[in-house]
Structure 1
Amino acid sequence: MTPPIPSRSHRVLGRGTPANPETRFDRHTRTAEDDGWAAEDDLPPVRTEVREEVPRRVLTRNTSPDIGFDRSINPYRGCEHGCIYCFARPSHAFLGLSPGLDFETKLVARPDAPRVLERELRRKGYAAAPVALGTNTDPYQPIERDRRIMRGLLEVLQAFRHPLTIATKGGLVLRDADILSEMSGANLARVGISVTTLDAGLARRLEPRVPPPAARLRTIEALARAGVEVRVMVSPIIPGLTDPEMEAILGTARDAGAVAASWVMLRLPFEVAGLFEDWLDTHAPGRKAKVIARLREMHGGKPYSADWGRRMRGEGLFADLVARRFDLACRRLGLACRLPPLRRDLFAPPPRPGTQLALF
């Protein structure tokens, strides 16, 4: 289904999609119509709006067998990076917002997250295990430069000696290299950098507000020099579009300093499928049939299947071929698919301000 055309009240520049489709929860359908009166150049650009949320808790628990962590933190809802393929887009529907342009331009920040996290970590009986940051939306998207919520979260985790992992495309992670270097040296922290393609032009169309591939490789290099363990995430692999680049991405990232690698196949849940198909019509019409055919081949005839054990990589001949290529390339390059577990035994809540310290 092609998403509705955008409103002509604003120019949509540098965004993943101009469309703002309804969600599966909407009771009414709205379609914008161009009356022809407004000239494109006379319209103001769409601006990013940021609202604030006061969370009751920030640690989100999960029991999914597909991922290697049971708790995560997301300092923001929505993501200004605008990656058209982002599987998290449908989560905006729970806020009454569209997974399309709203997801990129109507963001929610959680400035109290560090304080709430500290309260949760001090709860009696809390048992430390690696917490993943950036699992739904990128913690180092552009608004973090001013908001500094992620910095505050890292300061709390460092003070508690709590293990953590980060997934990001944002170069702003280098701002926090001082904390990450110290924690990585104590086997308490790892960073994953996502590289979807090495083609700067394709990356700009797929991920309009993400640092270009060369900048992400420089981020890997800088983190590695600072002593931070870095994983390159070839994610998502888009069959028929980016999968031929997999070995080149792995090799270039290894040369930059990555020590481990992982991959995830493109996922198109709920409204993302229509948005991505519309993107293919605009930016890669000659590839659309092949991309969609490969996806359907891996998901039982559908663009996506959410079944555990298959949703992250699909199944069938093509999925198996990608998995074998990935494993062979990692062995050849010396990239680990699994790393030793992060330490949990160092976890210790620091004394509260004004607390009498023990003598022994």
Structure 2
Amino acid sequence: METLLSQAEQLPGLLAASRSGLVRNWDPATLTRALSWGRFFRRLHGRLRAQPGLRAALERRLNRAGLLGVSHWRHCPELLALALLENRALPSAARHRFLRGLLAPAGGPREEEEEEPFVHLLARWKAASQLLLLHLPPLAMTEEESDDAGGRDGPVAKTQAQLLLSCLREESHGEGGHDDVSPSATLLAQFPSGPTLYRAVAAALLEPSGEVEARATLLPWLLGDQARLASFCRLLPAPRAASLCRRHPELSSPYLKLLASWGSRLVYDPLCGEWRTGGSEEEGQVPWRELRERVRCLWQDPGPLGSAIRTQLKQLKAQEGDFDVPGLSIWSDLLLDMETSASSAKETKCTPPPPGAEPAEQKQRCNSLTF
């Protein structure tokens, strides 16, 4: 009894700390110990159900001491988890450990009395919007988050994608939606559209385990709204957009149409010799350099994507008169830019030196190339 009381005395302090700035000093090991305490009290609650006499005596002592009653112990893991999700002071390393634990709880035997793991409770779709959009730091496509702009996702992006996929799976196996709307589509409708959601969707579409959800929910959700698709593609860096088109060919044609629309809005400035956006800051306007980079990422693809962008540029150029004079057609200028860049890239590749070639000879072989 005294041991239980001494342990119960630590619980209010733990819950208070999880909501305070004290978590700034928590490392992943400290976080793991705190969550273990929460699970410990839930197990105690389950065991005391089989001992009503001990539980009644303990409740009286807890009430006299002004401590949390045994009935509250059942929800300790959830109370801790929600407090930590809402606490912005939690360091990133501890937060990543926490989220990884939500996605893949540690294995091992479970108590028979233990109820459904709290990760499933937190994944319910009405709480998912908070979990996904409010409590995770905004995802930025930076070198810290990804090896390159179109490369592997960093831990935050991967976590957001896996959480979103988990929520979609949860809903697809749950109750039916309203009328002909699937529960997963209803879930996505609960999220305010914006950068965080779009980046999470992009990462989910590139997740190897998310093929089913991509086909059933994410792609129809994107392709079903032109404005949403435009905002989604505009947000993504050029290499990431190209990666998505390679992974999901359904996105290729709509993305090419968007590039054509963005390009048609640019106006040539003869004084500066540049293609510029109009005077107003329209959402549908993309600068020349960004458009060129997006086209280049598709052009460099050796497969169907590269062929598609070449065909589209030639068709657009022909529709505007098939001019080869700079400044008359943005499509002529883009096509010329792509072909010139591709030609230069081939010319600057040095042929492998013959066996035993001296350094001076190797240098001479490279310098002899014509630019």
Same fold (TM over 0.5): no
Higher relative contact order at CA 8 Å, sep ≥6: structure 1 or structure 2? 1
**TM-score tier (shorter):** under 0.3
Instruction: Report the structure number with the largest CA radius of gyration.
Output: 2
Q: Would you tell me which structure has more helix in proportion to its own residues?
A: 2
TM-score (norm 1): 0.24
The structure carrying a bigger strand percent of its residues is 1
